[in-house]
Structure 1
């Protein structure tokens, strides 16, 4: 039985990881940390755990002491010291935040205003998108769990860029996320009265996920890829829809065939039949990604719609998918949820 601990379990990402791990047949959650809730029971903070989980929030150090694998749901800049502790003790570490996603420290300095204090530690990090880096994840001890927006975008573009079917190196991405993507801390934009019946872009052209997206797309394409990335805030709790626009030099039927072949053995990525539209409703509370393909025949622009649950495939579910790979378990273990029908 895998002994798991969660640092930052009082926040949305850590809490969702706890919720999913409680149903995992090969894992036991042995400790949870949450500085804002230290000494409280999980069920005091989240009543849904009443008589399901009686764990009490303990110190982060105690979480690491008790567990074999640690999930950290922390703001950027806070995970490195815990990853180092785990590394020194021979324990596995999955960072749900941004500290181990970017290969280039200069990108981290520019977009997150921090630095890598232990550069050798970052040589061990693996970007945890299983559909792209499965073999490396199996051997990894430190995982940088992908951001939710980059997950939807990378899965949406992987078949296209890896087969060099794009006629332009510049890609336009409009993504819309539910409010849980902003985290638990309340801001002016996430007040109910601001988000209710609202839909608007934010951080247009300067969102922190931009370098992560460009990093992975460039690896797929074997050349530098740039994007115009515009995120939007949806008045829903969870879910992401990324609509991606790129010029292509192949017809839709040929591209569709390549997408189907690329993902035919992937448990969590589903390319919908032509004429169907990816819809976040049907991937919520699952680890699935739905992709639909469309073509503007007037200028041969491919339109890709990629949708995920930002809290599961975009965060906690993907982290558990990575854990399964790290421990040699079937990838879908504990993640075989079917989305709602209505």
Structure 2
């Protein structure tokens, strides 16, 4: 994976939207959740592979800092064959009572591995402790340096910071991903009726033969536009020049409690992006805009069926957290919900039901016979 693509993938995975209380007490609508890239094996490996060329040739051991430096250090060790040592925040008070678990560090060059560095406090403490044990510690390699300090925040401690990415790199990746394709901006706006056929063609191109022979998602969209669940302001297209390159629709849905009471929420999807332009942040731009618009309209929450590796970056969680189940009373990882405000789904529990427009038999459709609209 090239460096620019990796930066975009990390930013897309970790930058989530919602309502967050920061350590300072301030409220924020956006949060960088570093755990999301480390919990995805492909991204974890890609970051570790990018760390390998940054290792000093003199490295005898790689040292993973507790907690999230450990999976990265383990992966680097596996890729290079270098032994690994796991550095605790404090020596345990039982058993071996060791601070550094694994190989002996005395007289050896230890290159520290960390996920994110901001002030460098944890690295500074680990380096001092390892040096006290006789190790040489001159370099730390991190996935992301958020300090903004040239050379890193640890130069005064004799430690060089080598980062795969800086905060500026990820900010630039975010700007590049959804903002433009070949220098032209992508605009997200409500779909115009004259664009319905273009949207159907786009959906067919995105979903054809992906989950089944042919697709049904284009038919679902057509039926949704004719249903009582349809909300024109939440039928969104991403437009590049005059071309429809992405689409998302959110429609009315319900949650029925055990006592028979019914609450209205939203159902998100289908979400589609032109296959040739996927991985450019268009889907993220659409989802963010949809969430923002739905929030401003006063809806309590959104439910969707989708990839649990993709949608949590937008604040979606397993629907069971909100005591919301599918229509048949079950839950699974791909069934997710998102509050559109703090506590907005409090008191909303029961069985989810989308509009009947979703309930069609899969029927293969010849994509060339339905519409000659190009996408």
Q: TM-score range by the shorter chain?
A: under 0.3
Going by fraction, where is strand more abundant, 1 or 2? Answer: 2
